[in-house]
Structure 1
Amino acid sequence: MQNNQIRHDLEPLTKRFPEIGKPVSATWMGGTLGVQSDGRATVPGPSDYWIEAIIELEPATADALRAKYVPTPTGEVPKLKEALQKDVPAGPFLTSVAMDKALSNNDWRSTTYLDSRSNTLVMRSVDD
């Protein structure tokens, strides 16, 4: 996975997180935890990967997430890498443990935020 480069391709996201359906667009970054800016590992051992994404969902997909996982306003605000943070909508955001679990799987653990005023999903995921 390319470290710290802004990406817009959808396939890596839809492959890992099928619950997002077929997004309209996405702005995201991914990389390896514990890697310095020059690419050297800071700790030995297996690598853990991360993804942070701002995803514009199809309206039907966003509505399905709202109906199925009943996220509520909690006052939580996503904190992403600086290069992505400027693209995070103003919110307020809806969150739920059920939605986090639905957008996680055996390989990826996700924290999700659904913008209450749009079809935008913000997610932070770690492959652990």
Structure 2
Amino acid sequence: MVNRARSQTSAVGVRARFAAAGALLLALTACAGPQPEEPEVAATRPPREVRHDTEELARAFPPLGTPVSASWIRWDNSSTGEQSRMQVAWIDAVVEVAPQTMETLVTQYESEESGQRPAVQKELVSALPPGPFRTGVELNMAFAAERTSTRVFLDPAHDTVVLQSYNFSGR
């Protein structure tokens, strides 16, 4: 015959121990207080140089045609001190193109208004037109190349193409 009183008492004791352990854990967590945030690496990084030449961009991204003007930055992971087997380079660019080039980009490659605003590096934020911006997979693929992935945004009203691109290669 099983003593029901003893079984219930044991179960209550186990629950009480779990509750006490949980309360102790909660108390220790509360005593630790908020942890200081990790310092932002970007805060210590000097601003990148904004370039305005267009020849290198036109070679890297032929759908731009002959750009009217550009503000762009390029950076890579060579100065991070990481011993990576991959060399990665990024380009963010705000490029004014000829009206005919914009017309070709809008009509030749599928895109739609996205409601998104390009997330370019802070050095280029002031160069962004107001939008709205068009984007799309087909448009992105038109600007991609071997080992390069590019996100493309168009502001047709301002004949502006915004690029967020990265290229990777082995070392």
TM-score, length basis structure 1: 0.88
Q: Secondary structure at the match of 2:107?
A: helix
Count of equivalent residues: 122
2:67 to 23, 46, 54: 23
What does residue range 67-86 of structure 1 map to in structure 2 within 5 Å? 67-86=107-126
Asked whether 1:66 is paired with 2:106, we answer: yes
The alignment-based identity, stated in percent, is 30
Q: Which runs of 4+ in 1 moved over 3 A?
A: none
Asked whether 1:99 is paired with 2:110, we answer: no
Structure 2 Cα separation of the partners of residues 12 and 4 of structure 1? 17
Q: Could you list the runs of 5+ residues in structure 2 that have no partner in the other structure?
A: 1-46
Q: Secondary structure at the match of 1:123?
A: strand
1:50 to 90, 96, 108: 90
Asked whether 1:12 is paired with 2:93, we answer: no
Deviation at 1:96, TM superposition (A): 1.0
Deviation at 1:13, TM superposition (A): 0.6
Match for 1:124: what amino acid? Q
Q: Which residue number in structure 1 is paired with residue 29 of structure 2?
A: none
Structure 2 Cα separation of the partners of residues 108 and 4 of structure 1? 21
Structure 1 Cα separation of the partners of residues 125 and 83 of structure 2? 27
Q: Which residue number in structure 2 is paired with residue 109 of structure 1?
A: 149
In structure 2, the CA distance between the partners of 1:40 and 1:97, relative to structure 1 (3 Å rule), is closer
Describe the superposition over 1:64-107 as per-residue Cα deviations: whole angstroms up to 9, x where unpaired: 00000132111111011111111111110011110100011113
Structure 2 Cα separation of the partners of residues 43 and 118 of structure 1? 42
- Choose 1 or 2 for highest CA Rg: 2
> 1 or 2 for the larger relative contact order (CA 8 Å, sep ≥6)?
1
Match for 1:113: what amino acid? F
Q: Which residue number in structure 1 is paired with residue 162 of structure 2?
A: 122
TM-score, length basis structure 2: 0.67
Q: Could you list the runs of 5+ residues in structure 1 that have no partner in the other structure?
A: none
